[in-house]
């Protein structure tokens, strides 16, 4: 349903309300009003997922109007929240492990985005949806770092020949590694 004055879908207005670390009283009041309107809850959940706002949506709905969503949708919100929270804590542990391995071997490493951004932006690693870890290292440390991470169970994905890897790194500054057991 569209708002009469803004023309924006109410569900999108609701997402704008929750796209923040904390709610001020005006935004909390607006959110409380919005959840009382006729909403397409499936669209809201899909949009929240698409925009990476599921965690914040669940958190703020739980604090303002915990019983606002239909039971089936509330259950989906909670499941998504818990699943993402588990992944966030897993990613945080992996990030700390990788950085420790690298730094213990004389390779300075800095995590960014993922759990680091979530902690900086929201004060909680579980409030941002992220699918991977990003770690910066110096270019000169690349071969040593990949060898160390290989010994920890990580492999370049997709697998590349030496020539392909060399060519890739001439034009790109990142490479994906995946843990062979966890798939992360």
Q: How many CA atoms lie within 13 Å of 106's alpha carbon, on the beta-carbon side?
A: 3
CB 89 within 8 A of CB 53: no
Confidence band, pLDDT 50/70/90 cuts, at residue 6: low
Domain ranges, ordered by start, for the chain: 10-69, 82-179
The least confident of 29-33, 74-78, 79-83, 162-166 is 162-166
From residue 94, alpha-carbon distances to 2, 6, 68, 90, 97 in Å are 43, 44, 36, 6, 5
* Span 91-113, pLDDT tens digits: 999 999 999 999 999 999 999 88
Give 4's pLDDT tier (boundaries 50, 70, 90).
very low
Three-state SS across 24-91? CHHHHHHHHHHCCCCCCHHHHHHHHHHCCCHHHHHHHHHHHCCCCCCHHHHHHHHHHHHHHHHHHHHH
Lowest mean per-residue pLDDT among 41-50, 138-147, 160-169? 160-169
The pair of three-digit structure tokens given for residue 119, joined into one six-digit string: 């902690």
């Amino acid at each position: 349903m569209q708002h009469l004055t803004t023309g924006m879908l109410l569900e999108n207005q609701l997402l704008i309300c929750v796209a923040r670390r904390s709610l001020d009283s005006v935004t909390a009041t607006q959110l409380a009003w919005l959840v009382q309107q006729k909403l397409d809850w499936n669209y809201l959940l899909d949009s929240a997922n698409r925009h990476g706002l599921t965690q914040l949506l669940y958190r703020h709905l739980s604090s303002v109007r915990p019983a606002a969503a239909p039971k089936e949708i509330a259950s989906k919100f909670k499941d998504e929240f818990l699943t993402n929270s588990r992944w966030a804590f897993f990613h945080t542990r992996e990030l700390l492990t990788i950085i420790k391995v690298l730094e213990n071997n004389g390779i300075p490493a800095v995590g960014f985005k993922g759990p680091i951004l979530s902690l900086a932006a929201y004060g909680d690693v579980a409030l941002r949806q992220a699918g991977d870890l990003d770690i910066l290292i110096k270019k000169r440390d690349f071969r040593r770092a990949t060898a160390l991470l290989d010994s920890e169970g990580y492999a370049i994905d997709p697998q590349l020949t030496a020539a392909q890897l060399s060519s890739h790194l001439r034009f790109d500054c990142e490479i994906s590694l995946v843990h062979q057991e966890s798939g992360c």
